[in-house]
Chains A and B, each alone.
Chain A
Amino acid sequence: MAFSVDKIKEGKPLDGRIPEGPIEKKWDRRKNELKVVSPNNKRKYTILVVGTGLAGASASAALAELGYNVKTFCIQDSPRRAHSIAAQGGINAAKNYQNDNDSVFRLFYDTIKGGDFRAREGNVYRLAQLSVDIIDQAVAQGVPFAREYGGLLANRSFGGVLVSRTFYARGQTGQQLLLGAYGALMRQVDLGQVEIFPRREMLDLVVIDGKARGIVVRNLITGEIESYVGHAVILASGGYSNVYYLSTNAKNSNATAVWRAYKKGAYFANPSFTQIHPTAIPQSGHYQSKLTLMSESLRNDGRVWVPKKKGDKRPPNQIPEEERDYYLERKYPSFGNLVPRDVASRNAKFMCDAGYGVGEFGRAVYLDFSDAIKRRGIDYIRDKYGNLFEMYEKITGENPYEVPMKIYPAPHYTMGGLWVDYNLMSTIPGLFVLGEANFSDHGANRLGASALMQGLADGYFIIPYTIGDYLASTDLPNVTTEEKEFQESRNAIQEFVKRLLSVKGKKTVMELHIELGELMWDYVGMARNEKGLKLVLEKLPELKKEFWNNINVPGSDKNLNKALEFAGRLYDFIELGELMALDALHRNESCGGHFREEYQTPEGEALRDDEHFSYVAGWEYPGNDEDTPILHKEPLVFENVKPTQRSYK
C-alpha cells in the first residue's frame, strides 16, 4: 500500500538538546556539562564504527587515541577506499589567513544561509568553530595542502561565499585528508587499539533494552553472518545519492546501514534534501554506470554559458562573444559563477529545459576557461586544475584547454540522514551517527567544501567528547552475541539473503536499479511537484513487487557475490525512495535543493514557507512496511540569523 500525506500521524516533537546561552558559548557550555570516562575505564569499553571515510576513520582514530577499544568495519578491501577519497575541491575553515574579513561568524552565517535556513544554528556555529582545528590537525599529520611561495597555506573560493577560505591539495583534497585520517587509524591498528574488519557489510543494528549494543554484518568474502557486541555503535556510512542510480557516488556507496538502523527505531530526518551538483560530466549513453564530478573549484576560473539562440548547433568556438549568454553572471551579478550549488544546478536545468542546452542531447551547458587562460596563462590553470582537466579528457576525449567543458547537474550529496541531537546521538541511545550519514549541519543545501569539514569535525572533535558522556552516564550490562536480539537479527538476514537468491526472475539488479533511478530522478530530482510525487508513491510499491517477483540474483551466498550485495542495497534504496517522496510531498514549500515547482518566486527562486515548515522532519518507522511513517517535528529556532529570502544577486 502506498504512503500518503493524509495518513501521516504526528508524534511527539523532537528535542535537539542544544545548549542554552549565547551561540559562541554553547559548545563550551556543553563540554563543561559532559561527563568524562577515566583513562583506566576507557579500555573497558568497545566502540563499533561502521564506515572508514573521513568521519569513520577520524572517529576511530580519535577514540582509540583516548584508550577505547575500537572495532572498525568497511565494505571495501581497505579503509582507504571510502568515498571521501573522491572529494576534489577543498575544505573550508574560518582561518581568515587571507585577511578578507572571514570569521567564525561569517562561515556560520554563510552555511546557515546556504542551507536555506533549514539547519540548526547551534550545530552550524560549532562546526565553524571547529573548522580551524581541523586544518591544524591535518597539517600536523602531513597533509600536503597547497602553499604560497612564502611557505604559508593557500586558499581559494567556493560557491555561495564572498571570501577565500577553502584549503586544498590540488584537486584531491578528499584523498589527502582521508589518507591522513587513514594513517591515524592504521597507527592505532599498529598499537592494538583498533581492529579493522574490511569487506564486511553491516546488515542490522542490534538493540537490547532500548540501547544500541551491536551489529550483525555479512563477511563479503566468505558469506558468513558475523555478530559484534559493543557499548556504543557509530554509523559513518555516508549518503544515499545512489538511490538515483546515476550519481557521483562510488558504486558501493549505499544506504543499507542507515536504513536498517531506521527500521530499528532511529528517526530519519529530511530524507528529501538531496544535492544535485551543477558541474558533472553529462551522461553519454544508457549503459552509463556513474557520473563524474568536475570540482566546483573550477567555477573560480570557468565561466558558464549557453548560446543565446535556441538549438544553436555551431561548435562553441564559432559562437561569437555577443551571441553567448553567461546566464549566471547576468542573473546574479554579485556572486556570478560562484552561486551555491542548488542555484547553479536549477539554472542549468532551466536553460536546457528552455531549449538552450548544448551537446548531443541538449542536456549540457558550457564551462569555459578561455578567458582565464588568456588572463592568467595556461600554466596557472594547469597548476590549479591539471588533474581535473586530465580526468575530463580521459572520459570525454575532448581537451578542455582548447574547447569548453560540457557539464550538467548530477546527484552528489544527501543533506538528509539519520536524525541526531547536538551530541550526534540518534533516537536510539548509544547509536551515534556522523558525517553525511546524519542530517545535522547543511540544512536544505550544502555549500561546497563543507562536507569534508563536517565529517572531520564530527569524528575528530565532537564524538570523542560526547560518547564519553553517554558511556559514563549509562548502565550497560555485559551482553553476548547469543542474546535473542542477535539471534533474531541473524535469522532475519539469513532469510532475506535466501529469499533474494530464490526469486530467479528475469531482471538483473542493474536493470531494476536503473528503473528506480529514473523514477527518482524524474519525480524526486531537481524539481518536484505534487502530481509527480503522488505518482511515484504509487509506482515505488509496484517496483517493490516487481523486485520480489522478477529479480535475478545469480550465484550463492557462500562466497564473494557482488550481485547479491547490490540486490540487498537496491531493496533498501527502493524503500528509502518512498520515504524521500513522502517527505518531499509533505513539505509544501521550496528550500535549497528541495524545489517544489508550485512554490517559487516570480524569478524562479526557491520560495520558503517559514511559518509552516521551519522544522526538521524526523520520520519514525511505524513497525511495518505498509503504514505511512510517523512524523516528528523539531522546530528550528533562529536567534542569531534572521531567515530571509536568499539572494545571490
Chain B
Amino acid sequence: MSDKNMTLTLRIWRQKDANSKGGFETYTVTDISPDMSFLEMLDVLNDNLTKEGKEPVEFDNDCREGICGMCSLVINGIPHGDQHRTATCQLHMRHFHDGQTITIEPFRAKAFPVVKDLVVDRSAFDRIIAKGGYISVNTGSAQDANNIPISKEAADAAMDSAECIGCGACVAACPNASASLFVSAKISQYTFLPQGQPERYRRVLRMVEQMDAEGFGGCSNHGECEAVCPKGISIANIARMRREYVKASLR
C-alpha cells in the first residue's frame, strides 16, 4: 500500500475574512493514500498545520457522501475537480499522482462572497428558493396521494431536475457567474408535475427576479454548468426556464 502513497504540493487560497485581501499559500503533504478522499487529504493537512501552531484551512463540508451540497472548492481550475459527476467530498486521491501540484480555490462569484479561506456565503440560493421554490400547500390539506396520477415519465423527469444539491458549482464554473442551472432545475421540477401548475408563471417570474437581484450574471450558453454539476443536471432545464419565463411575461 504505502509505496503507492503520494507527496503533493498544495497551493491554497487563504483569506482571513470577507473584507481582507486573500492570496495563495503553498503547503506540502506526504504519505497520502490513493484511497483517501480529497477532504480527508485536507484533514491531514489541517492536523499538520495545527501541530505546527498554524491556523487550519477552513473549508465547508458535511455529509461527505455527495448529497448535502455543502462542500465546494475549485480544484485545478474546475469546481469539484475534474472527475465527472463527482462532488469534492467524493473525489478520491487515486485520481492524482505523486509529485503533483494541486491548486485549491473557493467558488468565486460576486453573489458568493468569501467568508474565510475556502468558505463562501451561498445564502443567495436560499433567498431565491424563498421566492417560489415550493408548492404553496399548507400542512394537512392534502388529498390522498394516489388521487393525482402522474406518468412515470413525468415523475422521472421531475426527479432528474430535483436531484440538484444546491452546491453552487454551476455558478462557480460559469464565466458570467450565472445561477441559471440551479434556478431552472427547481422551476423545471414543478413544471413537469400537475401540482406545480397553479403557481407556474408566478414562480418563474419571482425566482428569476430574485436571481437577478442577487447579482448573478445571465446565461450565454457556455454549458460549463452542466459539465461540472456533480448531479449531471441538464442544461435543457435552462431552455425550459426561458420558455416558461417568456410565456409568463407575455401573459
B34 to A, closest residue via Cβ: A397
Q: Are B130 and A172 in contact (CB under 8 A)?
A: no
**Which residue of chain B is the closest to A459 with respect to CB atoms?**
B139
- The verdict on B11 contacting chain A, using a C-beta distance below 8 Å, is no
Q: Is the interface of B mostly helix, strand, loop or mixed?
A: loop
- Shortest distance in angstroms between A256's beta carbon and chain B's nearest beta carbon? 15
Q: Closest approach, in angstroms, between the C-beta of B177 and any C-beta of chain A?
A: 18
B62 at interface, CB cutoff 8 A = yes
User: A320 in the interface, Cβ–Cβ < 8 Å?
Assistant: no
> Are B135 and A140 in contact (CB-based, < 8 A)?
yes
A554 touches B123 (CB 8 A): no
Q: A133-B140, A186-B126 are in contact. Are A77 and B70 (CB under 8 A)?
A: yes
Interface residue A250 (Cβ < 8 Å from any Cβ of B) = yes
Residue-wise interface mask of B (48-72) relative to A, using a CB-CB cutoff of 8 A (1 in contact, 0 not): 0111011110101111111111100
Expressed in whole angstroms, the minimum distance between the Cβ of A32 and any Cβ of chain B is: 17
B90 adjacent to A148 (CB under 8 Å): no
Chain A residues contacting B43 (CB-CB under 8 Å) are 287, 289, 510
Instruction: Determine if A377 is an interface residue (Cβ-Cβ < 8 Å).
Output: no
In the bound complex, do residue B40 and residue A81 qualify as a contact, i.e. CB atoms below 8 Å apart?
Answer: no
Interface status of B145 (Cβ within 8 A of chain A): yes
B195 in contact with A139 (CB, 8 Å): yes
A450 contacts partner chain B, Cβ-Cβ < 8 Å: no
Docked CA distance A251–B130 (Å): 27
Assuming the contacts A80-B69, A142-B193, A190-B130, asked whether A251 and B64 have C-beta atoms less than 8 A apart, the reply is yes
Kindly state the separation between the CA atoms of A76 and B62 in the bound complex, as whole angstroms: 8
Q: Which residue of A lies closest to B32 (CB)?
A: A287
Residue pairs across A and B with Cβ atoms less than 8 A apart, 22 shown, are A77-B122, A79-B126, A80-B166, A86-B63, A136-B145, A141-B134, A142-B190, A142-B196, A145-B155, A147-B151, A151-B151, A179-B162, A250-B62, A250-B64, A287-B40, A289-B37, A394-B92, A552-B51, A554-B49, A560-B115, A563-B46, A563-B50
What is the CB-to-nearest-CB distance from B136 to chain A, in angstroms, rounded to a whole number?
Answer: 6
Write the chain A residue with the least CB distance to B129. Answer: A186
What residues of chain B lie closer than 8 Å to A390, measured between beta carbons? 85
Interface string of B184-200 (1 = CB under 8 A from A): 00000110010110000
Of A86, A152, A183, A464, chain B has the most CB atoms within 10 Å of the CB of A183
9 closest A-B pairs (Cβ-Cβ)? A183-B134, A151-B149, A140-B142, A136-B142, A139-B145, A144-B158, A144-B159, A190-B130, A186-B130
Given the contacts A145-B155, A391-B65, A394-B90, A140 and B50 also touching, CB distance less than 8 Å: no
How far, in whole Å, are A562 and B59 apart by their CA atoms in the complex?
9
Q: Which residues of B come within 8 Å of A, CB atoms?
A: 16-17, 33, 35-37, 39-40, 43-44, 46-47, 49-51, 53-56, 58, 60-70, 83, 85-86, 90, 92, 94, 115-116, 119, 121-123, 125-126, 129-131, 133-146, 148-152, 155-156, 158-159, 162-163, 165-166, 189-190, 193, 195-196
Q: Determine if A85 and B51 form an interchain contact, defined as CB atoms under 8 angstroms apart.
A: no
Assuming A139-B142, A390-B85, is B67 touching A175 (CB within 8 A)?
yes
Q: Is A150 an interface residue (CB 8 A)?
A: yes
Residues of A within 8 A of B115 (CB): 221, 560
Docked-complex contact A142 and B158, CB < 8 angstroms: yes
Q: Mark A376-399, 1 if CB is under 8 A from B, else 0.
A: 000000000000001100110100
**Do B50 and A169 touch across chains, with their CB atoms under 8 A apart?**
no
A interface, size bucket: 35 or more
Per the 8 Å Cβ criterion, residues 271-322 of A in contact with B are 284-285, 287-290, 292-293
Q: Which of B36, B51, B65 contacts A292 (CB 8 A)?
A: B65
How distant is A102 from chain B, measured CB to nearest CB, in Å? 14
Residue A613 at the B interface, CB < 8 A?
no
Whether B68 contacts A81 by the Cβ 8 Å rule is yes
Q: Which chain B residue has the least Cβ–Cβ distance from A152? A: B146
Q: How far is the CA of A169 from the CA of B159 in the complex (A)?
A: 8
What's the nearest-Cβ distance from chain B to residue A255, in Å?
A: 16
What B residues does A506 contact at CB under 8 A? 51
Contact A289 B64 (CB under 8 A): yes
CB contacts (< 8 Å) of B83 on chain A: these are 394
> Chain A nearest CB: distance from B192 CB in Å?
8
Q: Is the CB of A83 within 8 A of B129?
A: no
Determine the chain A residues whose CB is within 8 A of the CB of B139 once the complex forms: 58, 61-62, 65, 137, 184, 460-461, 464
